[in-house]
Structure 1
Amino acid sequence: MESKPVYVVSDIHLGAVPAATERAFRRFLDHVARSASFLLINGDLFDFWFEYRHVILAEHYRVLAKLKDVAEAGVPMAFVGGNHDAWAGPFLRDEVGIALHQGPLEMTLGGRRTLVAHGDGVGRGDLKYRALKKMIRNPVTVGAFRTLHPDLGRRIALLASTTEHKADTGDQAARGRAAFIQAWALEQMREDPGIQLVLTGHAHLASVLEVEPGRFYVNSGDWLNTFDYVVLPPGGGPPQLRQWPADGASARG
């Protein structure tokens, strides 16, 4: 049995947040390297990530190096693509050391059978996005985007992003997204009583709900304002929602 907890984080949106947020996240990764048995990044680590064949976006090099440090510390990592960074590939997998997935998928985390999904396009919400998702993940679209100069691709992504609006206003649509995602998660748990935990992100609203004794729905929140993360204790204890200290003060294990 693992003696260290599993850590879960999502929706950091690096590249669209202040430099202080990135510094805080790098401190968080130092903590993970010392304290975790496993790290799950459940989508939107980056506000934009696209793997060109020979180019890596310069703005992310310090976080990428920290992630490599986590891998070299012996902490396995998994990344589930979000709506901002679904195009991960060989660099993150082979050079950084992160296992790549597209959700929804099942994993065993903290001794629990767990369903993991970033949350984009699930349930009855995000109707326009579900149509867009099929287009932007189509191999033809990806190939066409790859032909653009990376600076132009980055500029297009910034124009399309709504992250800054969410950070400034709290995004009034967040509660609607959260409700759709939670409803989807509860439906999955009703249909399959063996699922003990559902983990999502995307809504930018952190939540821990004990659906039934020992069965939980968890949304890991975001790092736009509240620096949320989730700890799954070893031995199957209840999921714990925590906030990383933005001022650099020490966090609990």
Structure 2
Amino acid sequence: MHIAFFDSGVGGLTVLHEAIQRMPGERFIYFGDSHHAPYGTKTREEITELVFRACAFLAEKKLKALVVACNTATSVAVKALRDTYDFPIIGMEPAIKPAVESSDDKRVLVCATDLTLKEEKLDRLVQDLNAGDKVDYLSLQGLVLLAERFQLDAPETEAYLRHQLSGIPWSRYHAIVLGCTHFIYFREQIRRLIAPHVRILDGNRGTVNNLMTRVHPESSPEKKEIQYFISGQQADAGHFDKYLDYLTAMQAL
């Protein structure tokens, strides 16, 4: 049986990369809905339809578990998915809790897509932590298409980030939370543009921790096995492997 990872495009590869390292004996499926990316600018109804279409396809693969490796899809559809399927479904949650718990008297900046920032799920998470008075929000929606185009180190990327992050009084902030899996490709670029004392947090490790509590680990195979799909069609592994290679190189910095 396989563990499937679903995302609107290539963002969920950052979660898969974490899982490959920590669960080397597993067989994985990756479904990137790149033909319909980005999700963050779509309506809730459009996203729900796309997510259920993808999950119906994946459910035929006899899954051990499904990771909805997309913050926007999680906020819109994960509850309905859990009501529909009986295999474990793990969603994404921005790392706001660890950011807030270690922030002392400084603020936390949560970066996400347009729709995630509008969703009740995010507001509820912040309110449950009694953190409404210390959390600010910033859309970095433009990073999604830059990631989809593999413009990870392009001049356009730096220009966009400089524009979005300029003028922020970093002395007031303790942490920045990357609330979209696409954003993690740009961690090093963001690091260069913010104050050194500001921590950069994401929810990937916590998501894989959750996954590991829900499945029984397999013994290590001779080589990793990953099946790739783009919007329901078999995909060339090279398209996705270049992102995994980039993440490995970034990790070595």
More relative contact order, 1 or 2 (CA 8 Å, 6+ apart) = 2
- Give the structure with the higher percent helix: 2
Q: Same fold (TM over 0.5)?
A: no
TM-score bin, normalised by smaller chain: 0.3 to 0.5
TM-score by length of 1: 0.33
TM-score by length of 2: 0.33
